[in-house]
Structure 1
Amino acid sequence: MKVNFKGSPVAISEAIKLGDSIKDAKVVGKDLSVINLNEDAIIVSVPSIDTGVCAKEAREFNVKANKLGMKVYVVSMDLPFAFARFCTAEGLENIIPVSDFRYGEFVKNYGCRIQEGALEGLTTRAVFVQKGGKIVYSEVCAEITELPNFDALEKALA
């Protein structure tokens, strides 16, 4: 599977698809606790919270979380300390930041691992909604540097 990074194609691992059964993935919370991504939730994958686009996306999801009516997990390979620092500094309390740095189960079970180029090893930008044990919405952003389609997500959840 290919996406673009600043207009140049890069390979990513095959992402979980609409209609697929969800797969449990252990990730690490900002307090170093183990969290399982096995419930009804919105899963947002970003390359790194230390980039402008990822930070903007986290802020947007923080604002929209209550309206969307589901838990919103934001996952990356960032260390939990970086996520905690960012969320505290930004006052983000409606999203749940998690890291795949320890177990690598998110990229194994959901895909989205960038496999080449400058961002190799990080997670690509994607959004998944899981309900009733299934993926009911899936968007892997065609361009890593662009935000997901919030309108399509909100429409799918309506």
Structure 2
Amino acid sequence: MNTPKITFNGLAVSLSGHTLQIGDKAPSFQLVGNSLEPVSSDRFAGRVLVISCVPSLDTPVCSLETRRFNQEAAALPGDVTILTVSRDLPFAQARWCAANGIKQVLTASDYRNFGFAQDYGVLLEDLGLLTRAVFIVDKQGIIRYIQFVPEVTQEPDYKEVLAEIQKVL
């Protein structure tokens, strides 16, 4: 997979970081949870992990996306975790989750050092935010699906993501 071409409000933006491929071992990560606790990739070992990267939960499309994945998660098997990652401060993520009744999706922040953003190739260089992307990692820690949404202000293809989750189970 080549570096995807991404636009933000119709303007081309640059991504920074590693370009991952389907079949690659998912990079390990250390994020920050809503209570400032570490959220490590080790926590998801032996589970199917769906990683939804968003610019900010406090924006309309990111809010819609995370609420939609929260709804869809209720119908997924217990060994599937949906993790939404943004650069929002953990306090803002906790507030947003409480206000929106988010119980099925875990949120975590990459606000400290862009480590996740660089390792997953989702850093919007000029904006300091994550681009909109979805990764599915199987129980062995292998990336089985990648979707970069070409226009950051649009939602991902949920139907495709859900179908790919079923293939990994």
Query: For residues 44 and 63 of structure 1, what CA distance do their matches in structure 2 show?
Result: 14
Structure 1 stretches lacking a partner, 5+ long: none
Cα 1:140–1:15 shift into 2, 3 Å: farther
What is the TM-score normalised by the length of structure 1? 0.93
Cα 1:96–1:20 shift into 2, 3 Å: same
Query: For residues 125 and 36 of structure 2, what CA distance do their matches in structure 1 show?
Result: 26
Contact 2:26–2:142 (8 Å) recurs in 1: yes
Contact 2:117–2:130 (8 Å) recurs in 1: yes
Residue of structure 2 equivalent to 1:18: 22
What is the TM-score normalised by the length of structure 2? 0.87
Query: For residues 129 and 162 of structure 2, what CA distance do their matches in structure 1 show?
Result: 26
1:108 to 107, 114, 118: 118
Residue of structure 1 equivalent to 2:39: 35
1:74 to 84, 96, 111: 84
Residue of structure 2 equivalent to 1:130: 137
| Matched-pair identity in % | 35
Residue aligned with 1:101, SS: coil
Q: What whole-Å deviation, never above 9, does each CA across 1:90-118 have from its counterpart, x for those lacking one?
A: 111000010001242211211100012xx
Q: What whole-Å deviation, never above 9, does each CA across 1:60-117 have from its counterpart, x for those lacking one?
A: 010011323311110010000000000001111000010001242211211100012x
CA RMSD of aligned residues (A): 1.2
Residue aligned with 2:36, SS: coil
Query: For residues 10 and 104 of structure 1, what CA distance do their matches in structure 2 show?
Result: 17
Instruction: Name segments (4+ residues, structure 1) moved above 4 Å.
Output: none
Answering whether residue 108 of structure 2 is matched by residue 98 of structure 1, we say yes
Contact 1:44–1:75 (8 Å) recurs in 2: yes
Q: Select between 27-36 and 6-15 the one with higher mean Cα deviation.
A: 6-15
Displacement of 1:47 in angstroms is: 0.2
Aligned length: 155
Answering whether residue 8 of structure 2 is matched by residue 5 of structure 1, we say yes
